[in-house]
Amino acid sequence: MASKHNDIACDYFLNNPTSIFYPLSEEEKKELFNNHVCTVYKKGEIIFKEGDKPTGLICLSSGKVKIFKEGVGGREQIVRMSSPLGFIGYRALFAEQNYSGSAVALEDSVVCILEKEALYKVMRSNADLTMRMMKKMANELGISNTRTVSLTQKHIRGRLAESLLLLVDTYGLEEDGKTIRAYLSREDLANLSNMTTSNAIRTLSTFASENLISIDGRKIGILDMKKLERVSDMG
C-alpha cells in the first residue's frame, strides 16, 4: 500500500481551492486519485531529462524545482522555476512530445504524478478543466515570450534584478519580510539570468554595495524593492 504521505501529496493537489482540479466531481477526482504515483526527490535529483517520455502530469506538492534546457556547448538556461501547486513537464505531455528540457529538484521535493490516460479521460469529458489548463499554459507562454525579450535585450544588471524579483514572486519572502525564500547557488542564479557565474557574483556584490540587497551566503535580502524594480525595468 502506498504511504499515507503520498496520498496527502495527491490530496493536496486535488482538493486545494486554488487548484484547477478543485471544481471536479468526486468521481473525477477518484479517477485521478486512483491513477497517481507519488515520488520523493532529494535535493539535486533529476526528475526528468531532456528526451524522456512523459508518463503523466507531474504536480509539485512540496519543494522547489528548476526546469532548464541545455544550449550551446551544454550551457544551461533555466526556463522556469516551479513552486508547490505548480505543474512540471506539462508542456511536453500536452504537446505529445518528449521532454524538451530537464527538471531537477533544488531542494527535497515531493511530486504527485497523475497518470496520463486517466487525466486525458477526465479532461476529454470535462472541457472546463481543459480550458483552465489551457489558460495556465497560455499564461506561461506569455511569460516565456516576455522572458525571451528580457534575456536578450536587458543588460546584466536588469537581467539579474529581474531574476531576483522572479524568485520573490515565485517563492515569496521569509517571515522577516525581506529574505528571498529560495537559496540558489550563484551558478543557478547565473543560469536563470543568462550570464556567467562570475558576472552573477560580481553584479550581486554591486547590488549589495548599492544597498539594493543584502547578501549572507545564499541568503539574499531585498532591501529596496522599488529600486530593484527600476533596475529591472531600465534594461
**Residues contributing to the site for its own copies (CB under 8 A):** 69, 71-73, 75, 77, 79, 90-97, 100-101, 120, 123-128, 130-131, 133-135, 137-142, 144-154, 158, 194, 235
198 touching DNA, by CB under 7 A? yes
- Burial of residue 34, with CB atoms counted within 10 A of its CB: 0-12 exposed, 13-18 middle, 19 or more buried: exposed
Q: Which does 133 bind (CB under 5 to 8 A by kind): DNA, its own copies, none?
A: its own copies
For the CB of residue 223, give the shortest distance to DNA in the complex, in Å.
16
For the CB of residue 10, give the shortest distance to DNA in the complex, in Å.
30
| DSSP string over 102-152 | EEEESS-EEEEEEEHHHHHHHHHH-HHHHHHHHHHHHHHHHHHHHHHHHHH
Residue 194 Rama label (left phi>0; alpha psi -120 to 50; beta): left
- The residue within the footprint of DNA, chosen from 6, 82, 109, 194 (CB under 7 A), is 194
For the CB of residue 195, give the shortest distance to its own copies in the complex, in Å.
10
Q: How many residues does the chain have?
A: 235
Instruction: Give the closest residue to 87 by CA, choosing from 126, 128, 132, 118.
Output: 132
| 8 Å CB contact between 62 and 39 | no
User: Which CB atom, from 6 or from 203, has the smaller least distance to DNA?
Assistant: 203
146-185 positions binding DNA, by CB under 7 A: 155-157, 185
User: Which CB atom, from 180 or from 192, has the smaller least distance to its own copies?
Assistant: 192
User: Which CB atom, from 25 or from 144, has the smaller least distance to its own copies?
Assistant: 144
